[in-house]
Structures are given as C-alpha cells and as structure tokens.
Structure 1
Amino acid sequence: MTYKNYTENYMKKIFLVVILGCLLFSGCQNKSEEPGVIARVNGKPIYLTQLEYKYDLTHEGNGGFVPSVEQVRDEYGQILGDLIVQELVAQELEQREIPVSDKELKDAEDEVRSDYPDDSFEQILIEEYVDLNAWRSQLKYQLAMDKFYREILRPEIKIDYKEAEQYYRTHLSDFYMPAGFRFIMVKGLSKDLVTKGVELYREGLSPAAVSAKLRNVSVREIWIRSGQVPAGWKPFVENLEVGEATSVITQKNEFFSLILNEKKKATLLTPLQAYPTVEKVLLEKMLEDKFEAWLKNKLSVSNIRISKELLPEMEQSGQGSSLPEATKAE
C-alpha cells in the first residue's frame, strides 16, 4: 500500500493545525547561524535550497506569473512546515533503527529512471533546472513517509468488524450501485480500421495489443449509467446483447464501435462486498488520528528553530504565548 497522495494532502492539514502556530510566533534570527540554513529540527539543518526546490516544483509550468511578496512568504511557510514534518519522521525512523537504506533509495530511483530511455532522465533534470541531489533528498523524504505509515502506524491499527458494520449501515447510499452498461469502445480513423479492431478484440487480443497491432486505433472500457446513454447511440445499443458489437458509428468525423461487455442491474453491495471500501475509509481516518497524535507529541518534545526571515510579521497581540516551549526562533 502506498501513502504518497494521502500523506501529501494530510501534511497540509497538519501544517495548518499545528505547524502554522510554530511559524507565526517565531522570534528573531540567530546571527551566528550557518549560511543557507533556514531551520533546525533537533539540531538537523533544513536548507534554503530544499525549500526553493519544492517551491519551484509547485510553480512548474506557471509561465510568467509573478506572485506577491506576501504570497511567496505564505507558501514558503507552508513548504517549510512540510519539510519540518518530513524531518521529524525521518528522525523517528532513525531512532527506531529502520531508516530508509541506501538500497531502498537506489531501488526507488532506478524505478523512476526505468521510465526514461538511456540518459534522458538526467537530460530532463538539466532542462528543468532540477538539482539531482535535491531530487534525491526529496525522494528519500517521501520514502521515509511511506515507511513510517506502513511499518509504524499501520501495524498499530485494528479495524473491528462491528465498527465496519456500523459504518456500512449508516452509509448505505454509498454502496448502492446504479444500473448501467459497460462497453468496450473501439475507435479509429476509418470504418475499416474500426471493423478490424473489433475483430481482433473479439478474437481475444487485449486493448493494448489491438492498439499496438493497428496504429491509430484505440480500445478502452467505458461505463454508462442507465438513462445516460447519448441519444445518438441509442439506436445502435438498445437491443445489443452481451458480447455483441454495434456497426461502425460515424459521429463528428469519428469512427467507433461499441461492444457490450456487461449489462448491470441496480444493486446494493452486501457487507462482504463493501468491506474493502469500508476498511479503506476507516483506515484512513485512523491513520489521520494516529499521525496527528504522534506529531503533536513529537512537536512538544522537539527543538525546532526557524529563521524569522521567511515568516509573516508578528502582530502585537500577545500571540507568542501559545508557542510550544520546544519550538524556538533563530
């Protein structure tokens, strides 16, 4: 199981709930700090280059957009919050003696590189002005987050069948599957190509194999609910039996045929059928709670020093009293 998307979204929430408080109430800068260091997490430095790397990735492809100073400061603060959380997680793995190993990092990098022929990976990095070491550093952080959820948080969670049953019964509408049709659409540049594509598919070739054999022919699955079949398709599909294909349909200079794969009646998933979905929902909520509790505790015992240069100006309202004692300013 991968937690990449989940952790990215949830760290934004954690930043707003917890980290933001740390950032807003930091004080003055330590003049003796090493150049380029914008924060320290239990003595471990976070560098401006790390922050700039993530900021540049966020704004990749934004063209000539020029943000205001306030926008840049706010985004820098949020990105710094992410980096602080990632560093705390990495340190937790170190303390438990299960850090991301060099082999794990290399295997992950090799997997990414496998999508690029020859040396094109390095070439793309150069063209995008991406530093390889910065890229590796962020990849290692992400692997650490995945490992933290997989090996530390997940084993602590047990989903009780009664809780799953209760969720199912209170969210029945989520498990109602509407009636509809599942089609295989074969589309090409001519009627002859479409006809040939239908023949190959019905002979047992996979969609990818059909497309590879016939250039300019695409094969994909589509699902359409009952009552939502396009008006132009109805004469072709209304009497279609499962396994049958329509004649070639011409519509807006497109040629395609539809093969009826499944005709599905409306149904309510049984508790057993719904369990994988229920388990996923409950697991994500429990992981949120576990992670938030861990992070709050970690912040309370950690020494986090942040440069004031990246932070919004403090309002003279006595807010500083809510700063966690373990979080200090540089």
Structure 2
Amino acid sequence: MLRNIIFLLIIVVMAGCSGDSDDIGIVARVNEAPIYLTQLEFQHDQFQADSVGTYVPSVEKLRNEYGDILADLVVQELVVQDLVRRDMAVTDEEVQKAEEVVRADYPEGAFEQVLVEEYIDLKSWRRQLKYYLAQKKLFQQVLRAQIKIDYKEAEAYYREHISDFYLPESMRILVVRGPSRELVVRAVEKFSQDQNQMDLATAFGEVETREVVVREGRLSAAWRSALEGLKPGQSSDVLTDRLGFEALVLLERSEAKVLAPAQAYPLVEEALLERKLHDAFDAWLSENLATATITVSEHLLAEAMEKDEAEAVEPDMSAIQENMEESGSDVSTEGALGN
C-alpha cells in the first residue's frame, strides 16, 4: 500500500517540540510545508460518511485509516510543490473555475445547504479541490508528455491480449413502447416507412422509443423468441408485460468477430497509456520521496483518534525503524510537535 511505501522512505520522524505555538495542530511536514490535523480529520470524516451503520472500528482499523489518509496527503503536498517548482502551480482562478463547475450542478443555494447537511467545511473542501486539480495537472501536463507509445509495442500488446478485442454476436434493436397494442403497431408501421425514430415521438405522443445493443447470449427468453428468424428492418409481434406493450425492430445483427488492429488501436493506446502513467507516477513518487524531508508526529495516532477511541495507541516506531535501517535511512524518534 502507498502508506507503507511512504513510511518506509520517511527520513525523519518529527523531532521534539520546543513549545512553539505555531506547531500546535501540525501532524506532519513535507519539506517544511505543514499538514494539519484538521486536514486529516476532514478526510477521515469524508471516509466515514460512506460507511453504513453504527459499527465502531477497532483501534487497529483506525490506525490503518489515518495512516492511509496521511500518506495521501503527503503525496498531494509533494505534487503541489513539484508543480510550483515547474512554474505550473494551480492558481486561485483555476480553483474558482472548477468550483463553479461543481456548483452549476446544484440549484441556487443548494450547494451550501449540502455542505451544511454533510458537515463539510468549505475551506477544507476547497483545499482538497486544489489537491485534485494539482494531481490532474501533473498527470496531464507533466507525466503524459513523457510517454511515447511505439507501434511495435502496440502490436505486441494487441497480440498478447487478443481476447480483449473479441466482440460476441450482438443485435442493435429499436424498442417501441406504448399504452396500447394498436398504437405500438401504428408506430412500428410508420418507422418502417420513413426510418425516422424521432418522428414517432411527434406523431404518437404516448409512444416511447429507445435503441439498444444486446449480446445474443444476454437476450431474455421473451426477446430471443420474438427476434428469432427476423432480418434487419423487420419487427417482432407486439409483446405484452405488466408495464404495457412493446415491439422490437431489428436494426442490425453483428456476427462475432475480433477487432482488426486498426480498429483496436484506440483501446490498445488507452490501456498502454494507463499502464505507462501508473509506472511514470511510481517513478516520479520514488524520486520525490528520495529527496524530500518528511517529518511525522509520533503522537499523530493518539491525537487523531482521541475523539473515536478512549485508548490511545502510538505507532510502532521500532518496526518502522527496523524497516528504515534495512533501506539504509536514518530515523529519529525523539518526540512530537504539538506537545
């Protein structure tokens, strides 16, 4: 897991606090940039919002959850700092524009109401939006530019994954539904004459149409029976169910086939790009972690879990130190900020 990678590569565990009030509430630093307990709690609250029921997690489960969230925050901060060095930092204008896009999906005033109902702090939400935009920019404008896909590589992928490009037998069908058998029959007859699906809704206001593509192996028994023996352009008898009446017009029957290399190339390119982006990000992360100074409060878990568990558990620093020694890094476990 990402959390394990980060803690294996941590250079320093946060040194003892001198009582500086500026350190209060800081749970980690990434190249001196602070990560606050409020950020950790905000992310954990969002994580818990997806949980169902009143199950109280164990201390070990909380330890893992907070560790995963902190690892994500560390990576997000590294991304932000890298973009700043490249003079590609996410601007306030970009954040505002992205927020406006989100707000546009809500009626006026509803966005703020959702924040209140879900106990979401707007400032924290905007911070996470900025992190999201930064990671998106890193992938699209930095890592993507480093990736080249050679045609020989694409050919090799196509041959090795040929089964992914197999298309089974399928049918393209126009489904015509209506409140009465007679109306459906008339609508199908009109479609047979002018082949215009849109005209049906105008001519028959109560008729609904939809076009679907179904694999033959996934046809229901009723549809399979109704379509049996039909040729493209022909329609089935009117079927009856509890929701009304419907007829099926067979528009196209496609035989099973394997996509040709030229047809499969967009899918091959997408698969290779996803793999290469993943590898490029792993390389980017390893490089940035190797040169970063990441410090973490040894009392992080005890402080962060105080509201959830009466029992406070400190991280197993001996295990972390043992792993660090194996990787050749130095570890200090003198204390924590915020003491």
Pair in the same fold by TM > 0.5: yes
Q: Report the counterpart of residue 313 of structure 1 in structure 2.
A: 315
Percentage identity across aligned positions?
42
Give the letter aligned to residue 91 of structure 1: Q
Which stretch of structure 1 is more off in the superposition, 62-71 or 265-274?
A: 62-71
CA RMSD, Structure 1 to Structure 2 (Å): 3.3
Do the aligned residues in 2 keep the contact of 1:300 with 1:324 (CA within 8 Å)? Answer: no
Larger CA deviation: 75-84 vs 260-269: 260-269
Q: Deviations over 1:257-305 (max 9, x none)?
A: 4333321111111111111111111111111111111111111111111
Q: CA deviation at 1:79?
A: 0.8
The answer (yes or no) to whether the contact 2:12–2:331 under 8 Å persists in 1 is no
Q: Does the CA contact (< 8 Å) of 1:190 and 1:255 recur in 2?
A: yes
Post-superposition shift, 1:244? 4.3
Q: How does 1:101-250 map to 2 (within 5 A)?
A: 101-186=91-176, 203-205=196-198, 220-250=210-240
Moved more, 310-319 or 235-244: 310-319
* Cα deviations by residue, 1:144-179 (Å, 9 ceiling, x for unpaired): 001001110101111110111111112211111111
Between stretches 48-57 and 267-276, larger displacement belongs to: 48-57
Letter in 2 for 1:60: A
* Cα distance, 1:141 vs structure 2: 0.5
Shift of 1:322: 4.1
**CA deviation map 1:95-128 (0-9, x unaligned):** 1111111221111111111110111111111111
Task: Report the residue type matching 2:198 in the other structure.
Answer: L
What is the DSSP-based 3-state SS (H/G/I as helix, E as strand, rest coil) of the residue aligned with 1:240? coil
Higher relative contact order structure (alpha carbons within 8 Å, sequence separation ≥ 6): 2
Match of 2:304 in 1: none
- 1:268 corresponds to: 258
Aligned to 1:96: 86
2:48 to 23, 46, 59: 59
Q: Secondary structure of the equivalent of 1:259?
A: strand
Deviation of 1:254 after TM superposition, in Å, equals: 5.6
1:21 paired to 2:8: yes
**Structure 1 residue runs without a partner (length 5+):** 1-12
Shift of residue 90 of structure 1? 0.6
TM (norm. structure 2) is: 0.80
User: 1:14-59 CA distances to partner (integer Å, 9 max, x unpaired)?
Assistant: x156224257994776464622211111111111121122222222
Match of 1:42 among 31, 54, 72: 31
- Letter of the structure 2 residue corresponding to residue 19 of structure 1: I
Q: Distance in 2 between matches of 1:310 and 1:196?
A: 71
Name the amino acid aligned to 2:87: E
Aligned letter for 1:42? N
